[in-house]
């Protein structure tokens, strides 16, 4: 998706108010579904790489309580501002400006985290393996690294809204052209192993719904919002504007059908850093 201003690297989603609202809405739905998978306990030490607007970090912080500690790393100044607001009043959170390739961790913090969590980060990185190697180094011996990211090919809608699947495919392929990896979700276990970690679990965090589910409207609006954010870029690539708008309008109207269903899953994989050798 084209950013509003050229980014320092290829973070495609931009930081407009509409984009922040979309992320907030998606976070609410997703956090409720991901938190049980993470199995956090009060007092845990957590590192979040690519904290974004801080909504996921807030949920992690609430799960570990004030006796825990969450270090959250984010590079983008606008995201940092939003995250600072969201995370205010949570003394267990230490939000730091920095790059995930070289996170600002003190010497003694490397190898100290019970959990290192990266969600929707790797798809934006030119070298995801480098970030996972950082995560592996930051986890304590016996600690965990969790990667959660998109595989855009997983989206299914039925009965198909006219033109939607073709537009979705155009969207995520354009995303690839900007140096992002829209299919990184399928590579998570491979990335964990390449970083020297032992994979322990692989699943999807379900992000779908159907007519009759109170979340259905929001889930569809989120998917439409993701594609709408790429409008300018897709039109630059030659897509017809009125046709683009019509497909999105039709897809929003499709939510009113009583037999409409959407399936999506966020790829989610967990690995453990080897426990230290007994001395």
Ligand X SMILES: C[S@@+](CC[C@H](N)C(=O)[O-])C[C@H]1O[C@@H](n2cnc3c(N)ncnc32)[C@H](O)[C@@H]1O
> Which residues of the chain form contacts with ligand X (CB under 6 A)?
11, 13, 27, 50-52, 55-56, 73-76, 79, 99-101, 119-121, 124-125
Q: How far is the CB of 139 from ligand X (least distance, A)?
A: 17
Nearer to ligand X, 52 or 161 (CB): 52
Nearer to ligand X, 61 or 73 (CB): 73
Tokens, residue 191 = 């990335």
- Helix (H) / strand (E) element for 44: namely none
List strand residue ranges (DSSP E) for 50-112, in order. 69-74, 93-97
Nearer to ligand X, 147 or 247 (CB): 147
- The rounded distance, in Å, linking the Cα atoms of 15 and 23 is 10
Nearest partner of 93 among 45, 126, 138, judged by Cα: 45
Nearer to ligand X, 254 or 264 (CB): 264
Q: How far is the CB of 123 from ligand X (least distance, A)?
A: 8
* C-alpha to C-alpha distances, 98 to 74, 138, 252, 267, nearest whole angstrom: 6, 15, 38, 26
- The rounded distance, in Å, linking the Cα atoms of 123 and 54 is 18
Q: How far is the CB of 43 from ligand X (least distance, A)?
A: 22
Nearer to ligand X, 35 or 210 (CB): 35
Say whether 209 sits in a helix, a strand or coil: strand
Q: How far is the CB of 229 from ligand X (least distance, A)?
A: 12
Pairing of strands 209-210, 93-97: unpaired
- The rounded distance, in Å, linking the Cα atoms of 70 and 189 is 24
Q: Nearest residue by C-beta to ligand X?
A: 52
- The rounded distance, in Å, linking the Cα atoms of 67 and 55 is 20
Nearer to ligand X, 59 or 189 (CB): 59
Q: How far is the CB of 37 from ligand X (least distance, A)?
A: 13
Q: How far is the CB of 168 from ligand X (least distance, A)?
A: 18
Tokens, residue 26 = 């998606």
């Amino acid at each position: 998706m084209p950013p509003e201003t050229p980014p320092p690297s290829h973070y495609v989603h931009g930081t407009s108010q509409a984009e922040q609202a979309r992320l907030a809405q998606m976070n609410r739905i997703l956090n409720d579904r991901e938190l049980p998978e993470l199995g956090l306990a009060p007092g845990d030490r957590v590192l979040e790489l690519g904290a974004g607007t801080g909504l996921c970090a807030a949920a992690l912080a609430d799960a570990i309580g004030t006796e825990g500690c969450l270090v959250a790393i984010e590079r983008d100044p606008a995201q940092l501002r939003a995250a600072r607001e969201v995370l205010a009043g949570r003394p267990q959170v230490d939000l730091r400006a920095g790059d995930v390739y070289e996170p600002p961790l003190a010497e003694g913090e490397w190898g100290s985290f019970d959990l290192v969590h990266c969600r929707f980060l790797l798809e934006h990185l030119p070298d995801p393996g480098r970030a996972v190697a950082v995560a592996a180094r930051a986890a304590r011996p016996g600690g965990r690294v969790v990667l959660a990211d998109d595989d855009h090919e997983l989206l299914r809608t039925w009965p198909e809204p006219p033109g939607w699947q073709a537009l979705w495919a155009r969207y995520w392929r354009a995303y690839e052209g900007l140096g992002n990896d829209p299919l990184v979700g399928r590579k998570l276990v491979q990335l964990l192993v390449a970083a020297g970690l032992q994979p322990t679990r692989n699943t999807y965090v379900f992000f779908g719904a159907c007519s009759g589910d109170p979340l259905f409207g929001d889930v569809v609006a989120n998917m439409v919002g993701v594609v709408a954010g790429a409008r300018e870029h897709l039109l630059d690539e030659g897509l017809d504007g009125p046709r683009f708008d019509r497909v999105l309008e039709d897809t929003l109207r499709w939510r009113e059908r009583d037999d409409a269903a959407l399936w999506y899953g966020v790829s989610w994989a967990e690995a453990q850093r080897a426990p230290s050798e007994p001395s």
